[in-house]
Amino acid sequence: MLSSQQLPCVHHPGLCTNGRFQKGAAPFVVRAEQISAPSTSLQDKYGRRQLLATGVTIAPWLLLSYKKSTALAGENSKGFYPVTDKTDGYSFIYPFGWQEIAIEGQDKVFKDVIEPLENVSVNVFPTNREDIRDLGSPQEVAEALIKKVLAPPSQKTKLLNAAEHEVDGKAYYTFEFVAQAPNFTRHALSTITIGNGKFYTLTTGANERRWGKMKDKLNTVVDSFKIFNV
């Protein structure tokens, strides 16, 4: 079974110690104001320190605080916008109508302004691993990330499936899970891979009540994620 020592980690006060995630830590939940607040000033929207008690996860790792150079092209014929980050070497698409939001420490985040649980995030950080398979099987890695990173201990989580696929000879793990909070259940998809000396993760999801309507779009987002050499 994949241990917390094997998971990528950054030395950040309150998150991990000696390269290990602290048990019970849930540092990657998003502030309520960052995901669902009405349009107010940036100070009102992003300056508050409250954490979202429900534990909606926008991005797994809060690591990079600097901005990336990201090129956005026009909407394509299928109702998605493409994103290409030439600095970190990745690309993906997101649904038309979602808006980019700035969250410190996260590489790229887009969300629906009406249904804030519908969102996608990408994060990138250094690793000395060369292949995602170095961390274990898809199920082992997925279960470890869900329990230790993607949801707070207060939420009941369940891994629905996990699989490996290859694109241009590069291995990717993709998994589906649900995280149950007192007032809603979030249905999420994640894909992770390693390349360019970096660990990449994309996570997207929606409220369970809208999963039937959104699952095709969200699977399209996950399937679109690719990395390239930089």
> b/e for 197-213, b at 16 or more Cβ within 10 A?
ebbbbbbbbbbeeebee
Residue 183 lies in a domain: yes
With beta carbons less than 8 A apart as the criterion, state whether 158 and 183 touch: no
- Domain span at residue 118 reads 16-227
Residue 5 lies in a domain: no
Q: What is the pLDDT of residues 162-173, one digit of tens each?
A: 999 999 999 999
Tokens 């394509």 belong to residue: 76
pLDDT of res. 6: 55
Residue 33 lies in a domain: yes
Residue 157 lies in a domain: yes
CATH of the domain at 47: 3.40.1000.10
Residue 214 lies in a domain: yes
Residue 215 lies in a domain: yes
Q: What is the pLDDT of residues 25-35, one digit of tens each?
A: 333 333 322 33
Distance, in Å, from the CA atom of 37 to the CA atom of 78, rounded to the nearest integer, reads 29
Distance, in Å, from the CA atom of 144 to the CA atom of 62, rounded to the nearest integer, reads 17
Residue 68 lies in a domain: yes
pLDDT of res. 29: 35
Q: Please name the residue ranges forming H helices in the chain.
A: 32-36, 42-46, 138-145, 211-224
**Mean pLDDT per 10-residue interval, the chain, length 230 residues:** 50 32 34 31 30 31 33 56 96 96 89 94 93 97 88 91 96 97 94 96 96 96 96
**Number of domains into which the chain is organized:** 1
pLDDT of res. 7: 58
Residue 175 lies in a domain: yes
**What residues have CB less than 8 Å from 78, skipping those under 6 apart?**
220
pTM across the whole model: 0.70
pLDDT of res. 35: 34
Backbone angles phi, psi at 227, to 5 degrees: -115, 160
